[in-house]
Chains A and B, each alone.
Chain A
Amino acid sequence: MEISQQSNDQALLAWARDDNGKPQIALDPESIYRYGHLIRLTEQLVLDQFSRGLVSGTTHTCIGQELAALSVVRALNHPDDAVLSNHRNHGHFLTYSGEFVGLVAEIMGREAGACGGWGGSQHLVHRHFHSNGVQGGMLGIGAGLALARKLHNSGGIVAAIIGDGTLGQGLVYEAMNLASVWNAPLLVVVENNGIAQTTVSSHTLGGDIEARGTAFGLPTWRLADDDPEFLVKVDEVVKTVRGRHSPGFLVIDTRRMGPHSKGDDLRDPDELEQIRKRDPLAALGRLLPEDVRNTIELNNRQFIEAVRQAADASPEATLSETPAHIFDLPLPATNLAAVDVPPGSNVRQAINSALRHLLGSDKRILVIGEDLHDPYGGAFKVTQGLSTDFPGRVISTPISEAGITGAAIGLALDGYLPIVEIMFADFLTLCMDQLLNHAVKFPGMFPDVSVPLVIRTPCGGRRGYGPTHSQSPEHLFTAVPGLTVVYPSHRHDVAGLLSNAVQRWPYPALFLEHKLLYGEKLDSADYTAIPAADDVAVALFPTLRRGAGEPDVTLVAYGGMLPIAETVAQRLESEEELAVEIVAPALLSPLPRASMIGHLLERPIVVIVEESHHDFGVSAEIAAALLESGFSGQLVRIGTPPVPIASARSLEKSIIPDEQSIIAQILDLF
């Protein structure tokens, strides 16, 4: 809402905006003071609203740090410039967007909120501005956004703003390393206020802050917000980073006048008094003639009162219907050519063909991961030949699973279609925060923001790789709300499924590949697809079935467990006279309830076989869905018990379900 248009004194309250609506704040003291003071009044309004019980949830204000907050963002004047902020984001957001009512109403949980009430104080989005609530969580995304700007030769840069407390997070350093390796225009800004929530820096910071920047080869600056030339110097830093189109590291010494949140300031009164005396915003105001300052403050107060009234008048944010999920329909297949997989290909070759096809057909597609380059071609050789044929678009990265996942999210936010390879699925836990708290949150909260990201990774055991290289962690990731989990087999059109995930499903997706299936020939045999019904995305990732129409036993198996289930079925039929059906889903989450559960509902015995640690897992969800639907047959879950997967083959064999143990458990039913 544009309050300035309605004010009594438009000349004083309106500010120039660029073509994208970003306020243009000149470097003269009057302009800076006017905007800095508005930020302070807005923060005071937020605290006032909180004290009246009008704020939904929590908030963190930047009182005392207003000049630091606006300094970098103010200087970003390219349409592609992006800002990644943190929990203390109001000053950054207001400087980038000029949306005062949007911010206050958002914090109050009102309809007029900038993010419709989804984000509150910490999770805001506006064009290329994103903030989120996990400390340092946005830094990898920043590296990706910066790489995107480099790849399409934009003059834009990315400012990722953190506090000094966040220097304890490892992802910060992964991102700085990535930006350095990629020479991408990421300016990491540390607002060094000397306190992390309530813990002073001496307890949280080892070594020297600036040395952190220089260690990664980043040009590093240290400025203080009470320096009279502070804003001008920051402007120069931003110009330098833009000019070099390479990363940088800026430390701004500042002081937080208010509490971390609301009532949690435990600092010594003498120290607080020192901070108040230092107040750079007040110092700037004192430079102005008194009448000028008074006029600015009066107009600002009137403006903020109008903001208050507009926010108060906005009704509570409501949903016409509680959403069941975050997904919309798949994108149409129009103009998408099918992957040409050479006959006789195995799963590895089919995925390689799909990646080749995708890279060749859409410039937005990038493949990112560790050791992907030729002649190595990835730990399982899936990317062999691709870095040679698509130079610059198959990117071997440092060992930084969280960082490259974040970077891929950044690339996806910027319109790329990144495909990340994580070398072993066991390492996905390092990506978990990026997926759970970032990738799925953006499309879930903001309808205009899509994150078309695919993470491919080999999983599974039976190769003697031991406890941290053998797991099938799908159960952890199917539990991530909004994450699509696809786990095909050699019976599925693996190349088609991967293409669908990349080109037709603009949501974060995990694509699991069992190591032992890489060498299996693609062969759909006599499997047929179960009709898709109304399930989300199952038309892209179909569930297959084969075998008896009136089975005694239905085996539900997927991924690397499918060949074993087939052997089990064959033996149950030939040795035990049982009629056996196999149901093989590719889409694990969202669970295809209407189609797969509907299909299983009337079966007398359903046996779900999975390789993952199955407590609280996929089989549990299928079982629960069956029970909720009125299933009255017998159900057995077979999976890996909650113990580490041993390295010794003899031990591994007794831990991961195999043909014998599955048959024995099924025969117990008879």
Chain B
Amino acid sequence: MASYQTVPCVNINDEFVDVVSIDVKPGQYVNSGDIVATVETDKSMIDVVAEQDGYVLRIDAIEKEKARVGSVLFWLGESADEPIPDQKQESVAPDGISLQPTAKARALLKKLGLDSAGIPASGDRLSVADIEAWLARSGKSITPAAGATPVARQEQMPAVNGELVALSSEAAGMLHAVSWHRDHAAAGYIEMEYDPKPWEDYAAAYAAEHKLMLSPLLPLMAFRLAQLGRERPAINSTIVNGQRYQYQPVNLGFTVQAGTMLYLTVVRDTQDMDTAQFISALGEIQRHAMGHKLPPQEASGATLSFSSMARWNVSRHIPILPPQTSLIVAHAAPKNAGHAVLAASYDHRVLTGFDVAQVLQALSQPPK
């Protein structure tokens, strides 16, 4: 049966050692006493020797990195293809914590005034996603618990026969966005036609230079918008309690249609990215969206957004403002029209039509 040898203790006060070298490879036969690795601490360096004969099955420690004293250094077996028994993952969490909802989930429950009982967990612990899914299934929206019990505004049931169907979490999110757009923003709309050729040439050149298979046109335009968000901070802000709230990061929202599902994916902290990093990050997030596996941080927190319906050959669309943002740019490129359209929904409490026209003007040309 396979057996393992652990990282030795060099000094009673050192919990970790540096793995200086590993001198054997998986599959190699070693004799008891052969040097298999060298480890060191601040004070001394020692050779680790095999404690028995056998084939090296697997090496768990990594050369040039630290290893915890007592952890598995490598596995030995009587034959080179002996299976390694499954190691049970030891829970490092203290007792009592592991079965609670996650801290973030507890914060959300507290915020919503909910109890975790009755909300099913998909894993060992109740997560934020579990709560959001439950809310969506229950047709409940995420509204914070106020000091006093909120008074729910009840709509009358339609007179025609039918039944209530819970919204998916995505549909609930869309409802929330549309409600914010209607109830909070002073939404305006502006559009302008532009010549798409310079952008198309620019994207083609970029694709050629970086050997990209897919056209990077839309990511490049989105990144240009993110850059404009840094240059013109007002478009990357919103209104909170009668004051303008200036976002520090530029988190770019980018709509992705995945099957029947519309996602507003979010590339966070674009201000720290260059073009290539942004295209790569957006590509990764798009893949998550297409697989319907968007983690919460890639589906929330947009501060400025871009939406293209060029794929569907529409000539115009008026997008909904994502909650607590002041601008979403809409892109349309009807086939054979010889022109394309850049448009924007914007929150007039933050921006004027002049501000938005300038942004669209700037966005209509690729970077010099």
A519-B102 in contact given A552-B107, A579-B297, A670-B107 (Cβ < 8 Å): no
From A553, which residue of chain B is reached at the shortest CB distance? B103
A552-B104 in contact given A518-B42, A660-B94, A664-B94 (Cβ < 8 Å): yes
Min Cβ gap B71→A in Å is 15
* B248 A549 Cβ-Cβ under 8 A: yes
Min Cβ gap A448→B in Å is 44
* A549 B297 Cβ-Cβ under 8 A: no
Please tell me the number of chain A residues within 8 Å of chain B, measured between CB atoms: 26
Interface-lining segment among A14-22, A195-203, A409-417, A570-578: A570-578
Q: Is A649 an interface residue (CB 8 A)?
A: yes
Alpha-carbon distance A518/B13, docked complex (angstroms): 14
Alpha-carbon distance A212/B268, docked complex (angstroms): 72
Q: Which residues of A contact B269 (CB under 8 A)?
A: 549
Q: Which residues of B contact A663 (CB under 8 A)?
A: 94
Instruction: Name the contact of A577 in the complex, choosing from B110, B128, B248, B249 (C-beta under 8 A).
Output: B128
Instruction: Name the contact of A519 in the complex, choosing from B41, B92, B301 (C-beta under 8 A).
Output: B41
* B104 A464 Cβ-Cβ under 8 A: no
From B128, which residue of chain A is reached at the shortest CB distance? A577
Min Cβ gap A108→B in Å is 56
Alpha-carbon distance A381/B43, docked complex (angstroms): 9
Please tell me the number of chain B residues within 8 Å of chain A, measured between CB atoms: 25
Q: Is A364 an interface residue (CB 8 A)?
A: no
Mask for A366-382, Cβ within 8 A of B = 1, else 0? Answer: 00000000000000110
Q: Is B151 an interface residue (CB 8 A)?
A: no
From B17, which residue of chain A is reached at the shortest CB distance? A519
Alpha-carbon distance A518/B12, docked complex (angstroms): 17
Instruction: Name the contact of B13 in the complex, choosing from A463, A552, A667 (C-beta under 8 A).
Output: A463
Q: Is A550 an interface residue (CB 8 A)?
A: yes
Instruction: Name the contact of A667 in the complex, choosing from B12, B103, B127, B249 (C-beta under 8 A).
Output: B103
* A549 B268 Cβ-Cβ under 8 A: yes
Instruction: Name the contact of B127 in the complex, choosing from A348, A463, A577, A666 (C-beta under 8 A).
Output: A577
In chain A, positions 618-670 with a C-beta closer than 8 Å to chain B are 649, 660, 663-664, 666-667, 669-670
Mask for B276-307, Cβ within 8 A of A = 1, else 0? Answer: 00000000000000000000110001000000
* A576 B103 Cβ-Cβ under 8 A: yes
Q: Which residues of B contact A464 (CB under 8 A)?
A: 12-13
From B18, which residue of chain A is reached at the shortest CB distance? A519
Alpha-carbon distance A666/B102, docked complex (angstroms): 12
* A575 B105 Cβ-Cβ under 8 A: no
* A577 B105 Cβ-Cβ under 8 A: yes
Q: Is B316 an interface residue (CB 8 A)?
A: no
Q: Is B317 an interface residue (CB 8 A)?
A: no
Q: Which residues of A contact B102 (CB under 8 A)?
A: 575-578
Alpha-carbon distance A519/B41, docked complex (angstroms): 8
Interface centre among A348, A549, A666 (most CB of B within 10 A): A549
* B12 A575 Cβ-Cβ under 8 A: no
| B residues lining the A interface (CB < 8 Å) | 12-13, 18, 41-42, 92-94, 97, 102-107, 110, 127-128, 248-249, 268-269, 296-297, 301
Q: List 24 A-B contacts (CB under 8 A).
A: A348-B42, A463-B13, A519-B18, A549-B248, A550-B301, A552-B103, A552-B104, A571-B92, A572-B103, A575-B102, A576-B103, A576-B104, A577-B102, A577-B103, A577-B104, A577-B105, A577-B127, A577-B296, A579-B104, A579-B297, A649-B13, A664-B97, A670-B104, A670-B110
16 other A-B residue contacts (CB within 8 Å) besides A381-B42, A464-B12, A577-B103: A380-B42, A463-B13, A519-B42, A549-B248, A549-B268, A552-B103, A571-B92, A575-B93, A575-B102, A576-B102, A576-B104, A578-B103, A649-B13, A660-B94, A670-B103, A670-B107
| A residues lining the B interface (CB < 8 Å) | 348, 380-381, 462-464, 518-519, 549-550, 552, 571-572, 575-579, 649, 660, 663-664, 666-667, 669-670
